Each structure stands twice: as structure tokens, then as C-alpha cells.
Structure 1
Amino acid sequence: MQRQHQRQIESEERRRREEARQARLRQRHAAQEYREFRQAEARRLTAELDEQVATLQGLLTAGCRVPAFRASSLMRAEQVPPFDPGRLAVPVRMPDPNQYQAQGGWTANRRAQAQAEARARFERDWHAAQAAEAQRVQQLAAAERDYMQRTEAQRAEVRRHNAGVAEAVAGVRRGDPEAVVEFFSAALYSSTIWPEGFPRQMAAAFDSAARQLVLDWEMPGYDIVPAAKSVRFVQADNQDKETARPATQRRALYREVLAQSMLLVLHQLFGADEYGVLDSVALNGFVDAPDPATGRPTRIYLATVMAQRAAFTDLHLEQVDPASCLTDALRGQLTARPDQLTSVRPSRQPQDVANHVVPDIDGQDEPDLYDMDPIAFESLVADLFRAMGMQAVTTQRSNDGGVDVDALDPTPIRGGKIVVQVKRYRSTVPPTAVRDLYGTVQDVGANKGVLVTTSGFGPGSHTFARGKPLELISGTELVDLLHRHGLRGRLGEGGRPAAPARPEPSEPATPADDYNVLGMTWSGNVALDVCALVCQGNRVLSEDHFVFFNNPRTPDGMVRAVPATAPDKAAIRVAFDSLPAAADRFVLVAAVDPEVNPHADLSGFTDACIRLLDPSLTELGRLEVSDGRAGETALVLGSFRHRSNGDWDFVLGGKGYTGGLEQLVSEYGIEVE
């Protein structure tokens, strides 16, 4: 009995030890599962942080892939659901007399009584069914009337909405300021490119004289960039620990977000401008935050830019460094310390458009740049460069080597010597002046040449300057820069450039043979007719202003077809500055020659470009155009558009037509017999 008792004690002890071992194993397993869960959760939080950063870094690239806003997206269809009567569509079933037969009755009196009762039941049920059917018909008619009233009200509302959209579009086409602001506000508010947490507060105004949209756009705050870089689980403390993102990295990323946001707003606005009403956009990016100096809530501007359409549409946004693009290519300003809310001086603001400064009688408050003394004008330009943080002096009037202002940009790396020429012109600056400036830059070993004018530049000038250390500042850009840096100046009455006239006596006249040759070259063996249309908007001035194989020149000879020189396959000569005053577009088109290639289409039209040549046939630059597509037999290559500052800038085409040249020109108001 003692041995048996001892064995029981030992067995119980083994059982307790096994239970304790199993409990420890379960505890360790649970602790491991908990640790792995918390570690996985920390990795998930880190991945979310990385995803937020990747979204912020790819904001511009993703936004450029979103289709441009179109007014047609605001239109509503007049579709209404069909009338559904439901149970009212089913007529009330009438009683069947055969179902009302007399039951029972052994005697004649009883049978007669039963038949009378059956007829009474049938008549009662028939009258009830008739009443129910009449009620159903009445309810169905009421439901149909209600449906017609509701659908007509819906259609009327849709028509009113669409009419309002059409009226707004007409106002945009006319350049009505309220309509323009409403249209572009809708384009920005309806955008889907902004991530969660990005604000959309704005204030805007449209300067119809300068064809400029002036916009204040709210930027995301500094907290849009995650303060944490990663998350890890610390088992000893049983809690998550965040690794802080380095301050320099967070500041650089936030600055990049600001630059991307500015470029995206410009991209949306110019992309939505299907009616060509904007020549430029003055954009200011702000945040609402406490003033670091006073603590009071205020509006702090972190970025500003005045972007010309010609300069912006020439950018490849998906390949740029956003900050460099904003500050260098577009000459904008971006705060260096956004984390400390260091502000920049905003460009033109919406309230400036609504409250123009009225010059006094003597014109001293806002001097007319056209009427300034040439020496005073050069001094004003030198003042502007000094206000921009550079050293600048005017040169002597003799032996200046074609330099009016010597400037020195002290900025490290990208600074250096700048030579400045000023041209107080009323007509477009000829390309020869730009080429002369480039020669001066090379002769004196300057880092950059700047040509400042009160007028504008033609496509030859812009194309020649592309890729070279040259800056071309038109009259409207000059006025904006002056105002931005606290200086004064206007272009004629109301700030608008005056109508083209002869230059000042001290300036050389534009040469009479100042024209360009547009040479067309492409791959493939398809025979094409290259034609030109001199237009006002989307309408050709007259049929005589359509230059093609049966009409080789316009009546004034300013546009004419000329023999092509290799490698070109076709050529058009045009004197942009001498086109009719009503002309604001010069459109180039190409169509398959039906006599040479009756069954061809434009699928073989590839690697095409327009070579911009001067009168000596020296190539100034190349303008790429879209490839042709299968099934299409005519294509708009592109158009040169005349801006209010006198410039002609190129806008890429690409619209194709399956009906050949006849279908294409009919859209420009030419009747084809």
C-alpha cells in the first residue's frame, strides 16, 4: 500500500510538471504570436508611411496622366427612367359567371332560390371588380400624370443646367471675367488628382486686357509630409517606437510638394483652356497659419510664379525636377524654408485685378514705358535687376558692344555675368536681335544674355533661344516683374500693349524681308499636300487666305507655298508680323494627295517635324508634330497663335479626319463644292 501510494504521488507530480511545461509552451507561443503581430503591424505602419511619401513624390507624374477638364463634362443627359406603373399595370380580373353556379336544392323552389343567390353573388362581385378596375385606371392615369410632370421638370432642369453651361462657355469665349473665373474654378474643383488631405481653397480674377488669370491657391500644410520615417515594435517596452524623419529630408520633400502643386495647377489650367483665352497665369501658393512673428492668423505665401503659355506648354513635366522647373524655367519663387513659414513676395494677386491702380494726371504713378526716355528705360531695367538681388549698372552709350545693362548674379553655381539688351519697341522684335545678343554673349564670355522689350517675340526668336543661355522678356512679363519687385510701369492705356506701329526713331525698323520658311519633313512614302490657313479664331479670314495647291499664295503675298529644299518635302513661307491685323492664328495642315495615293491613309506619316528657317534657309529650330493614324487622311499639324504681347507661339495639333482635306477645311468655314 505504501509503494502504491508512493507511485500515485510520483504520477501526480509528473502530471503537474507536464501541465506546467505545457502552460509555459502556450505562454511562449502566445508571446511569440503577439510579438510577430506587433512587428507585422509596425511593418504595415512603415509601409503606409512609405506609400504616403511615394504618393507625394509622384504627385506631378500622376497628375499629368489625368485627362484635361472639358466643359462637355459639365453637360447632363436628358435621360429619365421609363414609366414603371408597377401593380397598376395589371387590370383587375373580372368574375367568371361560370364560377357562380347554383349549388344544392332538391325542390324547384330551393333551386330557384339557389340560382338567385348565385346571380346576386356574381353581380356583387362584378360591380366590386368594375369599381376596383375604375379605381386602378384612375390611379394609373394619376401616376402617369405625376411621372410626366416629374420627368418634364427633370428635363427642364437639365435644359436649364446645360443652357447655363453653354452660356458660361460663350462667356469664356468672349473673355468675360466672371465666366472665365467660374470655368477655371470648376476645372480645379472637379479635379481628382489631389490626394486626401490636400485643400482646395482659392481666390481668382481674370484680367481680360492682359488675358491673364490671377489665382491664389491654398497649399497643404507642413504636416502633409509624415514626421515619422518608420515604426518598430520594442518588446521590452511593449510599445511602438517611431523613428523621426530627418528635418532636412522632410523640408526638402515638403518643398518638392509645393513645387509640384504649383506646376499641377498650371497644368490643369492650361490643359482646360480649350478656347485659348489664357495667355498667362499668375499663381500664388499660400497657407493659412499663425504669423511666426505675431502669432496672429494670416495668409503666408510660399510660392509664386507668372507663367506664359508658350513657356509652359514647351515643358515636359513628367521629366522635370519640380523645384528647378518652377524657379529656373518659369522664373518663379519658392520659399527655401517652408517649415519655418518663410514667405515669398507674391506675384500679382486677384485683388490687384479688381482694383487697378489709376495713374495720376502726370502719369508719374504708373509711367508709360513706351513714352520713357531711352536712358531712363535702361535705368529702370537696371533697377529691376538690382531689386531681384543682382548687381547691375547701365553701360556707356558709346562702345557698349550691344550691351545696355551689365548684371552680375551672385548666386553660387548658376549665377555669373549677365548681359542685358533693352528694346523699347512697339512692333515684334526681329529674330536678328536675338541672334545678335547670342553673339554678344559669346564674345564677352557671359553666362547668360537677357533681351527685354516692351513688345513681344516671334516664333523664330523663341525657337532660336531654346536650349541657349538666353532669356526673352516680353512687355507683359516686364510689367509683371516690375510690379512684383516694387517698381512701376505700364504699357499704354490700361496696361495693354499698343497697336503695332513704327519703332522709335532711335531703334532700327523691322526689315521688310523678315519672314520665316516652315519646312515640312516626314518619314514614309505617302504623298501629302501641306496647306496653310490664316484664321481669326477657328474661322479662315477668307477663301483667299487658304493656301493650297490651287491657291499658292494669299492676296497680300505674306503667305505662299515655296519649293522645298532637302530634307524638306514641302515648305510654306510666312511673314508673321505682316499678317492681317484680324489674324490671330496661322494653321498648318496636311492631307493625303488623292491623285497620287488614292487608297493611302496617314498611318505612314511618322517622324514628322516642322523646320523653322530664316530667309537664308538657316535652321532656327524644329517643332515636333504628331504622327498620323490609320484610317485618317487629313491632319492638323499645329497652329501658331498670336498673343496679346505680340508673340506667336506654336501649339501642337493632332486632330485627324477620315474625310480628307474637304472635311478638315469645312471646320474652318470653307465651303467645299
Structure 2
Amino acid sequence: MSRRSAGFVGAWAELQRQHQRQVEAEARRRREEAREARAHQRLAAQSHREYRQAEARRRTEELEAQVAALRGLLATGCRAPAFRASSLTRAEEIPPFDPGQLGWAVRMPDPGQYQAQGGWTAGRRAQAEAEARARFERDRHAAQAAEAQRQQRLAALRREYEQRAEAERAEVRRHNAGITEVTEGVRRGDPDSVVAYCSAALYSSAVWPEGFPRQVTGAYDPAGRQLVLDWELPGYGVVPEVKSVRYVPAQDEDREAARPVTQCRALYREVVAQSMLLVLHQLFTADEFGTLDSVALNGFVDAHDPATGRQAHICLGTVMAQRAVFAGLRLEQVDPVSCLTDALRGQLSARPEQLTPVRPSRRPQDVSGRAVTRGGDEEPDLYGMDPIAFESLVADLFRAMGMQAVTTQRSNDGGVDVDALDPTPVRGGKIVVQVKRYRNTVPPTAVRDLYGTVQDVGANKGVLVTTSGFGPGSRTFARGKPLELISGGELVDLLHRHGLRGRLGDAGPAAPARPAPASDPASSSASASASSGSSSGSSSAEDYNVLGMTWAGDVVLDVCALVCQGNRVVGEEYFVFFNNPRTPDGSVRAMPAVAPDRAAIRVAFDALPPTADRLVLVAAVDPEVNPEADLSGFTDACIRLLDAGAAELGRLEVADGRARETALVLGSFRRRSSGDWDFVMGGKGYTGGLEQLVGDYGIEVE
């Protein structure tokens, strides 16, 4: 072979070796990718398996913790502090007045900062000095006007604070006086006071697991110094049927191991005995006045009677415990069933899971007919509910809606009645809840205070729950903020939708009170005063708002109001304009405007006719003053919502006018189904003036 051919073969062999190396490298890369893919799949499978296994362990731990809580119910309750009436009292802790930015006086201009600019000649220097003085005087007058306005707003804010603080102090005094009255009644042995006090002791206890009922019917026998109670027990479903959860990787599913039936039955019977012993313990330890010598207790469940199929109270346990005997027990170490049946000689159903009843000893109805039921199937009146029970009911509502919720302590709660946590991702978070058991409209100051609390504690949302309603000032302030306002009607609806009970007075969910039409303002005010004088949180006798209208431009306008049902005015006499300055009942009146307003309407929303669901505000060019004008100069307009003390509650946006239009619908206040009012911005214009506009609302102009 020649050297040339040998060199060619060597080059060809080298190319082959390079190609082989590339093939081998590509094969190694594919093998590595396949290995990584298999490793990723194994890791993913392992992660999924580990997650499912961890989830199964978590569920098992929850079941074990639930069972442990049931078995340790009595021991946990014995470690809890005894109830005392002093825990219900509230401190008159009103936060100090905080003027905010209004506390800083407007800075007056410094004459030294207003020097003449330029001027090479005497005449120019004199002109420059005059211009400097003019600038100084202009800025000084503006600063003085701003300072005067600041002082007015500061004075109004201080008056508002003092009124609110006094109302809060009065509410605290009324609450504490009620606690004192009940306490004194317990000292005297008054039956109603004793039952109320003992019910509070049981309701205030935080040791009962979630889902345990708290219905009690009680009566007190002063002659025998005996309290007789029917107390609702939890049903058999309180014992979890599942014992543990195990993840099976082969089938990729969870398998639940059932708890043995004998164990479920024994545990439920033990829970019944513990519940009755715990009720006795809480009652005797709460009796700081020595009122109870004995307690006759009947434990029942509210279920379908197996014998009749009807809903009934089935007694599963009964005991009559003497204080002297009960005081000698060491409840932390007793066997609950033996203690109840042997030491206290009570009776306990042999098969409570099958609702096998026992005969109760003494019933509350046997005590002179003075039985009082609390927390039963009857719809409780939210107005008459104890404030603490009402806060607990609101907390129960939030828990029923899938949130975590607890009531706060009676003092140092920062204005928060319920702390809630929404676990929902993204939109959830910390929620602060304030509860107002009012009969009259909640003032906007309460909504402002809630917003301050939300900012102070860094909450995601604030919720104000009331038995009454909210005015347009509150709704306007809350718009666009992390606030939610729940009126009385909405609250009752939420309670019913989530399996809870509540009503507003004897008539069920009530609309806001509306005084009967009066022939003069005095009678209307008297009616409003009479309707608001008996409730905490009530407004003053002059319960109205002022709608102040401001706008830019020189156009002169007539601002009018129509009281409507839908898109039709209630009656021509309910069209308030320059020739009819007030409605027959005085609920809507035109009034002189006070700067910066250029027109003003006074409205008592709660006094509007019951059939009215809208208050429409309109503006029209005054043809006598501006016969050739249109609304093109009507810009930068807004409605200032003021309270009866002229304090600004909020500003409502209004659309600008347009060329050739001479009348404009500014907006309308619309009654919600709950009785509250919302503002809806208008904007519809008319070229035919006020006559054409009111024609759309059913008023014929001759």
C-alpha cells in the first residue's frame, strides 16, 4: 500500500472514530436523560406517596386528638378557672381623642420669604416689592382661611368624639349595671337572677369541644336552695367512627380503619357521664355566693324517639347532687361512669347510643312553673339576647361559614369583639369583627372606628355586624375599603342559612323603623325621638342627613329631589323643588346651603314613606337667571354627605354636565332589601329642562 493510500485510510479511520465517539456520546446522553427521567418519576412518586402518607398520618392524629379531648373532657374542665360575675363587667376604657393631621395648625407664611424679585430701576423695584407684598397677603389670607377651616373641622371632630365616647360609656354603665343587678338578685336568692347567673356560667365556659350543644332549661327553688336543670348532651355522632387512616400506594387510595363498635359505645357513655359531672362542677364552683345547696340535673339529647319517631327530648342521665357530697370528690381521678352512678347515686342510660332513656328525677317545670329556657329550638330574639351570648352567636356563625373564630376578652380588646381567620388561600386572612346590638341605624363613626382598627392590627378585612342597619354615610365610607357591613336582616338570613337561630323582635327580620307621616317638622322630630330613645346606640332626635351640592362653573342650578317607588314619584307633593320646599311628612326638605355647598337638601331616610325605595336627586338650569345656559359648565361636582351636626361623612361622585343639556339626574339613593340605602350615580341628561326630566318620573307639567 502506498503512503498516500495509508494516509487516506488513517484519515478515514479517524473520522470513523470521531463518529463513533459522537454516537457513543449521544447514547450516553440519552441514557443519562432516561436515568434522570426515571429518577424524577421516582422522586415524584415518592413525593406524592410521602404527601399522601403524611396526610393520612395527619388525619389519624386529628382523630386521636379528638378522642383524647373527649376522654379528657372532665379533667380539662376541672383545670379551668371558676366563673365569676366580675369577668362579665367592662371597663370604661375610651381611647383618647386623636385629631390626626387636624391637630397641626396651618403654617403661616414667613414675610422674609417674600422678597422683591429683580428691578434695576426705582420704578421696577417698587413694582416688584408690591408684587411680593401681594403674594404674601394672598398666601396669608389663604393660610388663615385654611386654619379657620381646620379649627372648624377639629371642633366638629372633637364634638363627634365626645358624643361617641359618652355613648360608649353609657353603654358600658348599662351593661355593668345589669351585671350588678343580676349579682344582687343572686345574693337575695331571686329565682330568675340565679338561673340567669348559672346560665352565664355555663355559656361562658370555653372547655366544651366544638359541636357540643348548649341548650339549658332551668328553675331555682329558693325554699330548698336547689337549682333544677335540663342540659342538652351531644349526640352519638360526637364519637368518630374512624379509628385511623392508612395510605395504600398500590391502589393510590386512603383506607379507613373503623373504630370498634364496643369502643364507640363505651366512649360515648363516658362522654355523657363526663358532661354531667362537668356541668355540676361548673355550677358549684361558680356559686361564689353560696346560693346552691344542691343541683338536680337531667341530661338529654334532642333526637327522634325510637318508640314514636317524633322529635323529643330523651333523658340519658339524671342526678341530684348535694354540694357537701360533691365537694368531697376528686374529679380528676374518678371514673366518670362510676362517679355518677355510684358516688352520686345518679342514673345513666345503659345504651345511650340507642337512645335508651332513664326517668328524670325533678324537672324545671315542677318548680312553681318558673322554668326558663335558653338556647333551645325557639328562635332567640337578638335584641333581647345577652351581649356576650350575642357575640358568641356571631362567632358561631363565622365558624359555621368555615372560618376559625373566637370571642375576645371583655377588656383590652381594641374594639374587636370577635377574632376570625379565613383559611382560604389568596382571599383569606385575619378578620376583625365588631358587634353592635342596636335598634337604630349604626352611626358612620362606628364604621370609621372599625376601619381604624383594621389598619391598627393589620387585618385583611373588618366586618361590622348589627341588629339594625346602616345609613348611606356608612355605605359611602365603606365603599372601596376592606370593610363589610352586615345589617340585621342580612344577619338573620345568614344565621338561618348556616343552621343557627335568631330573629329580630316579635315580627322577625325587621326593616328600619319609619315614623308615621306628620303634618309638621315638630311632630316628625318627636316621633323620631320616641322611636330612638330606648336603645343603645340610638341616634339623636334629629336623625337626618344633609346632602350638600358643590360644583365648578358659574351656572346657577336648581337642585331638586324626588321620592320615588321604582321610576315613579310617590306623589307630586313628594317632588321637592323651589315651589314645594318640603314633602308632606317633612322627610325631605330644601334648606339654605352653607359654604362650600351651593345647594342643600335635608333627608331623614328612616322617615321616608314605607312604599318609597328611591330618592332621586336632579339639577336643572334656572331659566330665569341663565336663560341661555346649558350644563357644559357643570364640572367637578360632588354631593357632600353630612350628618345632623354638619360633620362630613363622605363625598359622592356626580357626572359632569354636557353641552345643550339643561337638566341632569345626579344620582339616586336606593333602599336595599335589608332596609339600608346605597347611592347609585346618575348621568342621564335632558335638553328639555326640568319639565322633560320630571315627566320621566310620572309628573305631568301643564
Q: Which string of whole-angstrom CA distances, capped at 9 and with x for unpartnered residues, describes residues 570-622 of structure 1?
A: xxxxxxxxxxxxxxxxxxxxxxxxxxxxxxxxxxxxxxxxxxxxxxxxxxxxx
- For residue 73 of structure 1, what is the aligned residue in structure 2? 87
- For residue 131 of structure 1, what is the aligned residue in structure 2? 145
Structure 2 counterpart of 1:261, which letter? S
Aligned-partner Cα distance in 2 for 1:219–1:297: 15
Aligned-partner Cα distance in 2 for 1:307–1:88: 64
- For residue 231 of structure 1, what is the aligned residue in structure 2? 245
Choose the corresponding residue for 1:120, options 119, 134, 157.
134
Quote the offset at 1:294 in angstroms: 3.1
The structure-2 alpha-carbon separation of the partners of 1:91 and 1:335, relative to structure 1 and needing over 3 Å to count, comes to same
The structure-2 alpha-carbon separation of the partners of 1:6 and 1:126, relative to structure 1 and needing over 3 Å to count, comes to closer
Q: Which string of whole-angstrom CA distances, capped at 9 and with x for unpartnered residues, describes residues 440-482 of structure 1?
A: xxxxxxxxxxxxxxxxxxxxxxxxxxxxxxxxxxxxxxxxxxx
What's the Cα RMSD here?
2.2
- For residue 121 of structure 2, what is the aligned residue in structure 1? 107
* Pairing of 1:141-540 with structure 2 (within 5 A): 141-355=155-369
User: Percent same amino acid at aligned positions?
Assistant: 73
Aligned-partner Cα distance in 2 for 1:344–1:55: 26
Quote the offset at 1:15 in angstroms: 5.1
Aligned-partner Cα distance in 1 for 2:25–2:115: 92
Aligned-partner Cα distance in 2 for 1:12–1:135: 83
- For residue 404 of structure 2, what is the aligned residue in structure 1? none
Aligned-partner Cα distance in 1 for 2:33–2:142: 82
Quote the offset at 1:30 in angstroms: 3.0
The structure-2 alpha-carbon separation of the partners of 1:11 and 1:115, relative to structure 1 and needing over 3 Å to count, comes to closer
Question: Are the aligned partners of 2:219 and 2:370 in contact in 1 as well (CA < 8 Å)?
Answer: no
Corresponding position: 1:62 with 2:79: no
Quote the offset at 1:103 in angstroms: 2.2
Quote the offset at 1:26 in angstroms: 3.4
Structure 1 counterpart of 2:63, which letter? L
Quote the offset at 1:9 in angstroms: 6.2
**Any unmatched runs of 5+ in structure 2?**
1-11, 372-702
Partner SS state of residue 309, structure 2: coil
Aligned-partner Cα distance in 1 for 2:270–2:283: 20
Partner SS state of residue 325, structure 1: helix
Partner SS state of residue 229, structure 1: strand
Structure 2 counterpart of 1:191, which letter? S
Aligned-partner Cα distance in 1 for 2:57–2:265: 24
* Pairing of 1:28-107 with structure 2 (within 5 A): 28-107=42-121
Q: TM-score, normalised by structure 1?
A: 0.51
Aligned-partner Cα distance in 2 for 1:141–1:29: 69
* Pairing of 1:476-625 with structure 2 (within 5 A): none
Question: Are the aligned partners of 2:364 and 2:370 in contact in 1 as well (CA < 8 Å)?
Answer: no
Q: TM-score, normalised by structure 2?
A: 0.49
Aligned-partner Cα distance in 2 for 1:188–1:245: 31
Partner SS state of residue 305, structure 1: strand
Aligned-partner Cα distance in 1 for 2:147–2:141: 10
The structure-2 alpha-carbon separation of the partners of 1:37 and 1:92, relative to structure 1 and needing over 3 Å to count, comes to closer
Structure 1 counterpart of 2:230, which letter? D
The structure-2 alpha-carbon separation of the partners of 1:136 and 1:13, relative to structure 1 and needing over 3 Å to count, comes to closer
Quote the offset at 1:33 in angstroms: 3.2
Q: Which string of whole-angstrom CA distances, capped at 9 and with x for unpartnered residues, describes residues 123-143 of structure 1?
A: 222222222222222222222
Partner SS state of residue 367, structure 2: helix
Quote the offset at 1:227 in angstroms: 0.6
Quote the offset at 1:17 in angstroms: 4.9
Quote the offset at 1:285 in angstroms: 1.1
Aligned-partner Cα distance in 2 for 1:231–1:193: 27
Decide which moves more: 24-33 or 174-183. Answer: 24-33
Q: Which string of whole-angstrom CA distances, capped at 9 and with x for unpartnered residues, describes residues 211-231 of structure 1?
A: 111111111111111111111
Aligned-partner Cα distance in 2 for 1:288–1:143: 53
Partner SS state of residue 240, structure 2: coil
Aligned-partner Cα distance in 2 for 1:72–1:175: 18
Corresponding position: 1:24 with 2:61: no
Aligned-partner Cα distance in 2 for 1:170–1:208: 15
- For residue 584 of structure 2, what is the aligned residue in structure 1? none
Structure 2 counterpart of 1:258, which letter? V
**Any unmatched runs of 5+ in structure 1?**
358-673
Q: Which string of whole-angstrom CA distances, capped at 9 and with x for unpartnered residues, describes residues 387-439 of structure 1?
A: xxxxxxxxxxxxxxxxxxxxxxxxxxxxxxxxxxxxxxxxxxxxxxxxxxxxx
Give aligned pairs, total: 357
Quote the offset at 1:7 in angstroms: 7.3
Aligned-partner Cα distance in 2 for 1:227–1:348: 34
Q: Which string of whole-angstrom CA distances, capped at 9 and with x for unpartnered residues, describes residues 500-557 of structure 1?
A: xxxxxxxxxxxxxxxxxxxxxxxxxxxxxxxxxxxxxxxxxxxxxxxxxxxxxxxxxx
Q: Which string of whole-angstrom CA distances, capped at 9 and with x for unpartnered residues, describes residues 343-398 of structure 1?
A: 111221222224399xxxxxxxxxxxxxxxxxxxxxxxxxxxxxxxxxxxxxxxxx
Structure 1 counterpart of 2:177, which letter? A
The structure-2 alpha-carbon separation of the partners of 1:83 and 1:6, relative to structure 1 and needing over 3 Å to count, comes to closer
Aligned-partner Cα distance in 1 for 2:224–2:329: 22
